[in-house]
Chain A
Amino acid sequence: MTDDVHAIAGRAMDEVAAAGDLAELEGLRQRYLGRRDGTLSTLRRGIGSIGDVEARRQLGQTINELVTRVSEAIDGRRAQLETAGEDHDAPLDLTRPAPPLRRGRLNPVTIAAGEMRRIFAQLGYTVVGGPEVEYDRYNFTLVNQPPGHPARDSHDTFYIDDSRLLRTHTSPVQIRSMLQHGAPQRVIVPGKSFRRDYDASHLPMFHQVEGLCIDEGIAISDLKGTLEYFAHSFFGRDARVRWRPHHFPFTEPSLEMELSCVVCGGTGCSLCGHTGWLELLGSGLVHPAVLRNGGIDPDRYSGFAFGMGIERAAMLAYGVQDIRLLYENDVRLLQPVSAGA
């Protein structure tokens, strides 16, 4: 009897291995394992007639093992037949370039402004804003440029009426932020500015980022450290800076930060006018009169401020050669090129 069982199982295994399709395999499953009249099921039912308990137990165990083996063989063959079918499906040419995942692209000015926000956020600066249509007072008078001040001329202001204008810089937000938030504070103000100027290097609308840090004991050294950190974060570790005394009405002392030329690295080229250096930003300690205008006691607090053209920073960092390209809105500009291209 046991030999019969093994013979049947052996035949079943051969037939399963030879099964050519899923229907044939299903037939084999019915033939051998079918609950009602499968050959092995029938045999299993038949062992009840064996009298010897030990023989009955052994035969039962053997049959169970063989059922498991045949069942596994059928499952294995089924998987083989199924995946064999998949292989016959149309092959996919994965060497063909995948269609691009369409995602819009940002203007380099926005990219640069975002980069600046992130860098200064790391230093604890909060972004604040102010109106683009400003009062003359906030744009000029309160930042130390009273009527008749020479610096007003160079600004070439767009006026709406006697008291309202398009802000010529983001500096009026210094006053508004001081009046709103008091001391201490650290803020940056990215935003649009407007000057009545239109030529190869000037646009009537441009973006500036203004920075303001007010606390007790703020010194020129803090200004230097902060903006050097910025320069290295924005332009890379290799960027070098130098400081030159300058003059701005709203800071005293005033300093200009220059960046080693991004093209020649400092050896001199046409971009840097053969000086090796590029003007990047104006800065200084906030003038005591400006602090006072912002409601802050200059005897207790000091602060530094800086202002920088975002277009210029973006052009230098990303290799855009003509400022006008930034506002032509030709979407082909927005496609970054690989380094060296």
Chain B
Amino acid sequence: MKVSLRWLRDYAPLDAPLDHLVRTLNETGTEVGTAEDVAAGIIAARITRLEPVPKSSHGLMLADLDVGPIPPHVLVDLGFPTDPVRVVTGAANLHVGDLVPYAPPGTRPPAMDEPLEVRAFGRHKSPGMLCSPVELGLGDDATGILILERGAPGAPLRDLVDLDVVLDLEITTNRPDCLCHVGIARELAAGLGETLTEPDTSIPDSALSAASSEQRATVTIDDPAGCPRFAVCIIEGVAVGPSPAWMQQRLRAIGLRPINNLVDTTNYVAHELGQPMHAFDLDRFVAAAGGERQAEVVVRRAQQGEGIVTLDGVARRLSSEDMVVCAGSRAVSVAGVMGGATTAVNESTTNVLLEAANWDGPTIRATTRRLNLRTDASTLFEKGLSDTLPPLALGRAAALMAETARGHVLRGSVDAWPRPLPAPGHISLTGRYAGDRLGMPIDATEAGTVLARLGFAVEQDGASLTVVPPHFRRDVWIPIDVVEEVGRMLGYANVPSTLPGRRVEATAVAPDVPPDEHTRDVCLGAGFDEAITFSFTSPALSRVLPGIGGTRSPIPLRNPLTDEWSVLRVSQLPGLCGALATNINRGVTGPALFEVGRVFWEGERQGPVPGSTPDGSDRKLPPLPLEPLVLSAAAQCTDGAACAEQIRHVQSLFDRLAVDFAGAGLMARPAQLVAMRSGRSAELLIDGQVVGVIGELRSDVVSAFELRGHVVVGELRLDAVAPDPPRALRFRAPARFPAIVQDLAVTVPSDGAAGRALDVVRNAGGGLLESVELYDEYRGERIASGRKGWTFRLTFRAPDRTLTSEEAQHAQQTILAALTRECDAELRR
């Protein structure tokens, strides 16, 4: 929101330096975005020569200017001579030697709507202009150029005359009372310890007519929930014309374009008091209602599909939740958002029906969203305004219209107020309470002073305060809200910085962190780079590469951003393969990526989420999806051999994690998985449960992801692998008795699976077999065709004695027998 510093000074002195004012606003909670110099680039220039424009019938003059040692670079850019600068002016008050304000092209004198362009007068092009006081927003005098009393050519005008400053402020949603000049002046005055003088909202007797508003208007509110208050008054005999220069200057300063004295007045009051208003043409309003003389104002919900043409000329369809203002039965204004075209004031208006109302915030917000129409008025109303404001705004605006449009104000107003808003009541607190919450001693008297400056009614009884917030503070209800007022006004910079005492035992809160950190560490050590991909994907990619998600259906979003991101991922692999493609397309060779994150599986969560409300109300809702924590890996390889190696590498990585977390490796079960090459993919199991998948992508899937070469992928459920709570660490003393190590060489059918054979060896080896390793596999001349050779290294050991070679030999025989029986093995000779 923009505010004019000059305007603010109507209500408080505020004569501190600008940076002090800005700091005060920032420190008390009104964020200052920019403090805009409205006359940036306008400089002082000395007239060195004056001559009439030849054959000019308008008395135009050519003025040569000395613009100081460094001419504005825009002149150089545009190719104008700079020594001197020659501009065209129509003013008659100039003399050679005068120091005047010169606005080069591209600058915007405060009273202009657009930045200056080079303007042609006949064959003379004028690079910019000399400015009158009114063009600079310095008064009403538009007849001549401002003659500067001090300064030198080239000096910024800002340094020579008192120009306005426009502050761009960011107001938090809880403070609609700050969306106006009086509100900001109040904050500043309170922060600086100055006195606020609020504008007079009474109407001078001289402006009052003998008739009363009630004779010409009635107001009926059909829906008090949507419209707690609606007040009108009537001004007769207005003369529509431009509003006075001071009003135009202020509106322009905050970015509003002046229209006429009626519209400008409503805008002015809205930005002064923070109560949006609307001016109807009374006669058009009466006509719209089909009446004779009295305006019949009805406030109601719109009918579904009811049409209205708003001021901006757009025909709009309303919903039954929107509020409308009607002339009789006909909707003439979208409540709190925008007036209608048929009853708006125009150049021929003579009588005005002035509206100031209070609207239900959520209703207005819903309407602006439905209509996609946000206005200055709706921005205020949607936050919920004070219902005390409407008559104040009516009084102020009526008095101004009487002044600026020479109207007569009918006595009184028609004020329907069927449902006063709940008003903030008494709030009691002590200085001690405020001090405890802020962390520094608070003196009740000092707190009371601060609150009084903000408009609170304050009663002090020793260290206790009882306060009543002002009507416009609809954000202060409980003691802690009052503490905030005290804290921000005394300044948080004055609060000391402390660390709370360590009363929380480290074990008081059970860690609930999934084991992601260790997983990342192991992945880094294995040479994989981390990727983080979006949790959304497309239904198509979910089907093409379901990964660990298997046959699960992804959860659709009701309002996705795009089709590509319309469902929640059941696997991270589609995203990760996309990231792989990005890298390959950018020339990265052999990227290897991993991601640790959650996937979303509908209907699989067991029991309520930890930390659910004890009322059990979640049970009536659809359960939240299960969110397994998953590690995914994807890598591109140049050829099949490298790919085989990479698959084993990913498998080693997953095994390492399984051993770290669960104390046991993963069992691989060859499986034909979607998207994976047959014979090169497997499910990974722990305790018989599938916890992972691994394999090489089929070439059509490689192409679908715009990848090239061979791509290895793997996915592991960390939530299933890592027990919660984590496995306790145990160690045992190294064996003291010697081991007997024997190699067992066999041949088996060439499709024999090592996993199965190792299980057979382990089962047959009994308690003496400490470990078995398949350390060699080969095919060749000395092996019969259709078979392959395996060499197992068997380590036998007894925990309590030195094993005899007979015992080891016997155990090996048992193993060989089992292999022969179960795996069609033959001893190799």
Q: Residues on B close to A: CB < 8 A? A: 26-29, 31, 33-34, 172-175, 361-362, 365, 369, 382-383, 436-440, 478, 480-481, 483-484, 487-488, 492-493, 495-504, 506, 508-514, 517, 520, 523-536, 555-561, 565, 568, 579, 582-583, 586, 588, 591-594, 597-598, 600, 609-614, 617-618, 621-622, 624-625, 627
Alpha-carbon distance between A217 and B593 when the two chains are bound, in angstroms: 47
- Known A-B contacts A123-B499, A175-B611, A331-B588; the reply to A244 vs B29 at CB < 8 A is yes
Question: Which residue on chain B has the smallest CB distance to residue A213?
Answer: B500
Of the candidates B175, B498, B536, the one whose C-beta lies within 8 Å of that of A222 is B498
Q: Give chain B residues whose Cβ lies under 8 Å from the Cβ of A150.
A: 173, 361, 365, 382-383
We find that the number of chain A residues with CB closer than 8 angstroms to chain B is: 91
Alpha-carbon distance between A194 and B175 when the two chains are bound, in angstroms: 27
Q: Give chain B residues whose Cβ lies under 8 Å from the Cβ of A181.
A: 508-510
Q: Measured between C-beta atoms, what is the minimum distance from A231 to chain B in Å?
A: 11
Q: Residues on A close to B: CB < 8 A? A: 102-107, 109-110, 114, 123-124, 126-135, 137, 142, 148, 150-151, 153, 158-161, 163-164, 166, 173, 175-181, 184-187, 192, 194, 196, 198, 204-205, 213, 215-222, 224-226, 228-229, 242-247, 252-255, 273, 285, 287-288, 293, 295, 302, 326-332, 334
Q: Give chain B residues whose Cβ lies under 8 Å from the Cβ of A213.
A: 500
Alpha-carbon distance between A254 and B484 when the two chains are bound, in angstroms: 8
Q: Are B594 and A104 in contact (CB under 8 A)?
A: yes
Q: Are B523 and A104 in contact (CB under 8 A)?
A: yes
Of the candidates B173, B499, B512, the one whose C-beta lies within 8 Å of that of A226 is B499
Other 10 A-B pairs with CB < 8 A, given A106-B530, A330-B582: A128-B513, A132-B598, A160-B556, A161-B622, A177-B611, A215-B501, A244-B27, A245-B27, A246-B29, A329-B579
Q: Are B513 and A127 in contact (CB under 8 A)?
A: yes
Question: Which residue on chain B has the smallest CB distance to residue A173?
Answer: B611
A-B pairs, top 5 by smallest CB distance, nearest first, are A221-B439, A176-B611, A219-B439, A245-B29, A253-B484
Q: Give chain B residues whose Cβ lies under 8 Å from the Cβ of A247.
A: 29, 172-175
Of the candidates A103, A184, A219, A253, the one whose C-beta lies within 8 Å of that of B508 is A184
Question: Which residue on chain A has the smallest CB distance to residue B501?
Answer: A215
Q: Give chain A residues whose Cβ lies under 8 Å from the Cβ of B609.
A: 130-131, 176
Question: Which residue on chain B has the smallest CB distance to residue A226?
Answer: B499
Q: Give chain B residues whose Cβ lies under 8 Å from the Cβ of A329.
A: 531-533, 579, 582-583, 593
Question: Which residue on chain B has the smallest CB distance to residue A247?
Answer: B172
Question: Which residue on chain A has the smallest CB distance to residue B623?
Answer: A164
Alpha-carbon distance between A201 and B33 when the two chains are bound, in angstroms: 18
Alpha-carbon distance between A3 and B172 when the two chains are bound, in angstroms: 112
Q: Give chain B residues whose Cβ lies under 8 Å from the Cβ of A216.
A: 503
Of the candidates B173, B440, B523, the one whose C-beta lies within 8 Å of that of A221 is B440
Q: Are A159 and B558 in contact (CB under 8 A)?
A: yes
Question: Which residue on chain B has the smallest CB distance to residue A295?
Answer: B614
Alpha-carbon distance between A131 and B561 when the two chains are bound, in angstroms: 21
Q: Give chain B residues whose Cβ lies under 8 Å from the Cβ of A135.
A: 618, 621, 624
Most buried by A among B533, B612, B617: B612
Q: Give chain A residues whose Cβ lies under 8 Å from the Cβ of B480.
A: 252-253, 285, 287-288
Q: Measured between C-beta atoms, what is the minimum distance from B380 to chain A in Å?
A: 12
Alpha-carbon distance between A220 and B440 when the two chains are bound, in angstroms: 9
10 A-B pairs within 8 Å (CB atoms) are namely: A126-B510, A126-B511, A129-B512, A130-B611, A133-B624, A135-B624, A148-B362, A222-B498, A245-B484, A285-B480
Alpha-carbon distance between A160 and B623 when the two chains are bound, in angstroms: 12
Q: Give chain A residues whose Cβ lies under 8 Å from the Cβ of B600.
A: 132-133
Q: Are B625 and A133 in contact (CB under 8 A)?
A: yes
Q: Measured between C-beta atoms, what is the minimum distance from A155 to chain B in Å?
A: 12
- Known A-B contacts A106-B530, A327-B534; the reply to A196 vs B29 at CB < 8 A is no
Q: Are A224 and B492 in contact (CB under 8 A)?
A: yes
Q: Measured between C-beta atoms, what is the minimum distance from B422 to chain A in Å?
A: 16
Q: Measured between C-beta atoms, what is the minimum distance from A210 to chain B in Å?
A: 13
Question: Which residue on chain B has the smallest CB distance to residue A298?
Answer: B480
Q: Give chain A residues whose Cβ lies under 8 Å from the Cβ of B483.
A: 252-253
- Known A-B contacts A104-B523, A104-B530, A222-B439; the reply to A132 vs B627 at CB < 8 A is yes
Q: Give chain B residues whose Cβ lies under 8 Å from the Cβ of A110.
A: 520, 530, 532
Q: Give chain A residues whose Cβ lies under 8 Å from the Cβ of B532.
A: 107, 109-110, 326-327, 329
Q: Give chain B residues whose Cβ lies under 8 Å from the Cβ of A105.
A: 524, 529-530
Q: Are B529 and A104 in contact (CB under 8 A)?
A: yes
Q: Give chain B residues whose Cβ lies under 8 Å from the Cβ of A245.
A: 27-29, 484, 487-488, 492
Q: Measured between C-beta atoms, what is the minimum distance from A305 to chain B in Å?
A: 13
Alpha-carbon distance between A222 and B484 when the two chains are bound, in angstroms: 16
Q: Measured between C-beta atoms, what is the minimum distance from B433 to chain A in Å?
A: 10
Q: Are B524 and A106 in contact (CB under 8 A)?
A: yes
Q: Measured between C-beta atoms, what is the minimum distance from B450 to chain A in Å?
A: 13
Q: Are A220 and B500 in contact (CB under 8 A)?
A: no
Of the candidates A153, A194, A220, A242, the one whose C-beta lies within 8 Å of that of B437 is A220
Q: Measured between C-beta atoms, what is the minimum distance from B141 to chain A in Å?
A: 35
Of the candidates A160, A179, A205, the one whose C-beta lies within 8 Å of that of B611 is A179
Of the candidates B26, B436, B478, B622, the one whose C-beta lies within 8 Å of that of A217 is B436
Alpha-carbon distance between A177 and B508 when the two chains are bound, in angstroms: 12
Alpha-carbon distance between A132 and B165 when the two chains are bound, in angstroms: 47
Alpha-carbon distance between A334 and B28 when the two chains are bound, in angstroms: 41
Of the candidates B497, B509, B525, B526, the one whose C-beta lies within 8 Å of that of A224 is B497
Q: Are B594 and A176 in contact (CB under 8 A)?
A: no
Q: Are B497 and A114 in contact (CB under 8 A)?
A: no
Alpha-carbon distance between A137 and B608 when the two chains are bound, in angstroms: 14
Question: Which residue on chain B has the smallest CB distance to residue A151?
Answer: B173
Alpha-carbon distance between A302 and B437 when the two chains are bound, in angstroms: 8
Alpha-carbon distance between A124 and B331 when the two chains are bound, in angstroms: 62
Alpha-carbon distance between A114 and B609 when the two chains are bound, in angstroms: 25
Q: Give chain B residues whose Cβ lies under 8 Å from the Cβ of A123.
A: 499
Q: Are B612 and A179 in contact (CB under 8 A)?
A: yes
- Known A-B contacts A177-B611, A253-B484; the reply to A158 vs B560 at CB < 8 A is yes
Alpha-carbon distance between A222 and B438 when the two chains are bound, in angstroms: 9
Q: Give chain A residues whose Cβ lies under 8 Å from the Cβ of B593.
A: 329, 331
Q: Are B530 and A187 in contact (CB under 8 A)?
A: no
Alpha-carbon distance between A185 and B500 when the two chains are bound, in angstroms: 12
Alpha-carbon distance between A331 and B503 when the two chains are bound, in angstroms: 44
Q: Are B437 and A327 in contact (CB under 8 A)?
A: no
Question: Which residue on chain A has the smallest CB distance to residue B438?
Answer: A220
Most buried by A among B26, B503, B506, B512: B512
Q: Measured between C-beta atoms, what is the minimum distance from B620 to chain A in Å?
A: 9
Question: Which residue on chain B has the smallest CB distance to residue A215?
Answer: B503
Q: Measured between C-beta atoms, what is the minimum distance from B222 to chain A in Å?
A: 21
Q: Give chain A residues whose Cβ lies under 8 Å from the Cβ of B561.
A: 196, 198, 204
Q: Are A163 and B621 in contact (CB under 8 A)?
A: yes
- Known A-B contacts A104-B592, A104-B594, A329-B533; the reply to A185 vs B497 at CB < 8 A is no
Q: Are B523 and A124 in contact (CB under 8 A)?
A: no
Question: Which residue on chain B has the smallest CB distance to residue A105?
Answer: B529
Q: Measured between C-beta atoms, what is the minimum distance from A173 to chain B in Å?
A: 8
Of the candidates A102, A133, A158, A222, the one whose C-beta lies within 8 Å of that of B500 is A222
- Known A-B contacts A131-B624, A158-B560, A185-B508; the reply to A106 vs B520 at CB < 8 A is yes
Alpha-carbon distance between A213 and B532 when the two chains are bound, in angstroms: 29
Q: Give chain B residues whose Cβ lies under 8 Å from the Cβ of A226.
A: 499-500
Alpha-carbon distance between A180 and B526 when the two chains are bound, in angstroms: 37
Q: Give chain A residues whose Cβ lies under 8 Å from the Cβ of B361.
A: 150
Alpha-carbon distance between A185 and B505 when the two chains are bound, in angstroms: 9
Of the candidates B496, B513, B591, B625, the one whose C-beta lies within 8 Å of that of A331 is B591
Q: Give chain B residues whose Cβ lies under 8 Å from the Cβ of A244.
A: 26-27, 29, 31, 492
Most buried by B among A185, A217, A302: A217
- Known A-B contacts A164-B622, A329-B593; the reply to A215 vs B500 at CB < 8 A is yes
Q: Give chain B residues whose Cβ lies under 8 Å from the Cβ of A288.
A: 478, 480
Q: Give chain A residues whose Cβ lies under 8 Å from the Cβ of B533.
A: 327, 329
Most buried by B among A102, A229, A246, A330: A330
Q: Measured between C-beta atoms, what is the minimum distance from A292 to chain B in Å?
A: 11
Alpha-carbon distance between A217 and B586 when the two chains are bound, in angstroms: 56
Question: Which residue on chain B has the smallest CB distance to residue A227?
Answer: B497
Most buried by A among B33, B492, B501, B558: B492
